[in-house]
Structure 1
């Protein structure tokens, strides 16, 4: 019974996070990208902080290590990741964005090994990294006659988003903080939102007044803040405790399927052969990099 419950929760989380890319595309039709991302985490951060205040004892960072962990989370996991993602997704499909973000678990392993030289990737892991990067090249599909074409640059920005998240995930684990994950996420969301508001103000992003009352705009914002961020992370924490890091990483490889289906149904996006092929290559790279952990999880 527990196995079926875990599978159901896994599929729900994959669907929520996959469809979040579609909500981003929908909201970007009404809000400027960085402000949109900041507003998402204004709401999600307050909801998560309220949950942390009730669910855990240490809901306020105290030590320098705690605040360092929050600073890294705010800067890399929230602000940098979402600025790159939202700006890039203005000029690419939700499915392509989800596929490129699925490189993040591969890069997380790479950063972890680089920062721990005694635990190098090894030949198979190095091949897995190269395979994953080949998948990215397939999805980005740059035109060599015009390598700075808008769609190629947009997809490279999303690769930067995946890289920021992977580096932030590794650095927050290496800091000797004592924060519960709920507390770290809550304060990182709020700190990241402040950083993104500052970036948005510096960019002088224009907002159409109609955006504040448009049903699609408000629906996308509510879905991202409440469902994808607050509820999604709570479900993620629960699954992380019950499944472990390797199996929960597989969400990254199911979410693009949900993004493709919902994107087709709601936005009319068609997934091209290069995006689908690149996704399979990135997944193969992940399987090579995490081959031992996957074998242990399946045994």
Structure 2
């Protein structure tokens, strides 16, 4: 029964995070991109901090190492990731954005090996990273005569979002500071929101509250803040403890399916065969890079099933 419960929660998380890309596309019709992302984490950060205060005795970061952890989370995991994603998604589909973001686990391994030369990727692992990058290029379909075409630039920005998240994940893992993930996420969300507000001001994004009170705008913002962020991260915490990091990474490869289906149903977006092929290449790259960890996980699951 526990196995089916975990599977159910896994699918719910994939649905929540996959449909987040649809909510982003819907809300971008009303909000400027960086301000939209900042407002999302204003709300989500407060909720997450309240949750952290409920489950932890002390939610305030202590010492230089913990504050450095929060700073990396604020800059890379929240601000850079979402600024690039929201700006890029103005000119690409929800499913294409979700697929490119699914490259994050591959990039995470690549950054980890790059920052620790003694732990280099095997030749097959390097092939996996290369195949994943080819998948992104297939989705972008860059024109050699016009590399600044709107779609290619949009996909490149989403790729930078995935790279920011991957680098942030590696750097936070390399720090020796021990900090509860609930408080780290809460303070990173709030710090990232502040940085995105400053970036929004620097970009001189228009502030037009009248357009924000449209039902679809409020619904999209509420969905991102309450469901995709607050509920999504709570589910993530539960599954991370039950399943481990490798299986959680697989959410990235199920989420685009939900993004594609709901993008088609709600936004009328159509996914072409080229995008599907690009997704297949990224998935193959993930399997090659994570093959040892996947083999261990499947062996563990088989042992449990035989008990």
CA distance in 2, matches of 1:208, 1:151: 27
Name the SS of the counterpart of 1:118 in structure 2. helix
CA distance in 2, matches of 1:3, 1:273: 34
Query: How far off is 1:208 after superposition?
Result: 3.2
Query: How far off is 1:57 after superposition?
Result: 2.1
CA distance in 1, matches of 2:274, 2:57: 48
Aligned to 1:123: 123
CA distance in 2, matches of 1:47, 1:209: 23
- Larger mean Cα displacement after TM superposition, 205-214 or 16-25: 205-214
Name the SS of the counterpart of 1:144 in structure 2. coil
CA distance in 2, matches of 1:249, 1:232: 14
Q: Indicate conservation of the 8 Å contact 1:14/1:254, yes or no.
A: yes
CA distance in 2, matches of 1:164, 1:178: 22
Q: Indicate conservation of the 8 Å contact 1:58/1:180, yes or no.
A: no
Deviation string 1:138-158 (CA, Å, 9 cap, x unpaired) is: 011111121100111011000
Q: Confirm or deny that 1:53 pairs with 2:37.
A: no
Name the SS of the counterpart of 1:57 in structure 2. coil
Aligned to 1:204: 204
Equivalences for residues 165-180 of structure 1 within 5 A: 165-180=165-180
Aligned to 1:69: 69
CA distance in 2, matches of 1:207, 1:95: 28
Aligned to 2:284: 284
CA RMSD of aligned residues (A): 0.7
Aligned to 1:38: 38
Aligned to 2:251: 251
Give the TM-score, by structure 1 length: 0.99
Query: How far off is 1:56 after superposition?
Result: 1.4
CA distance in 1, matches of 2:151, 2:107: 23
Q: Indicate conservation of the 8 Å contact 1:38/1:197, yes or no.
A: yes
5+ long unaligned stretches in structure 1: none
Query: How far off is 1:246 after superposition?
Result: 0.5
Name the SS of the counterpart of 2:270 in structure 1. coil
Aligned to 2:89: 89
Aligned to 2:304: none
CA distance in 2, matches of 1:211, 1:182: 33
Deviation string 1:29-60 (CA, Å, 9 cap, x unpaired) is: 00000000000000000000000001112311
Aligned to 1:135: 135
Query: How far off is 1:113 after superposition?
Result: 1.2
- Give the number of equivalent residue pairs: 299
5+ long unaligned stretches in structure 2: 300-307
Give the TM-score, by structure 2 length: 0.96
Query: How far off is 1:114 after superposition?
Result: 1.3
Deviation string 1:251-284 (CA, Å, 9 cap, x unpaired) is: 0000000000000000000001111100000000
Name the SS of the counterpart of 1:271 in structure 2. coil
CA distance in 2, matches of 1:109, 1:96: 22
Q: Confirm or deny that 1:230 pairs with 2:230.
A: yes
Query: How far off is 1:118 after superposition?
Result: 1.6
Q: Confirm or deny that 1:263 pairs with 2:263.
A: yes
Query: How far off is 1:80 after superposition?
Result: 0.2
Aligned to 1:213: 213
Aligned to 1:159: 159
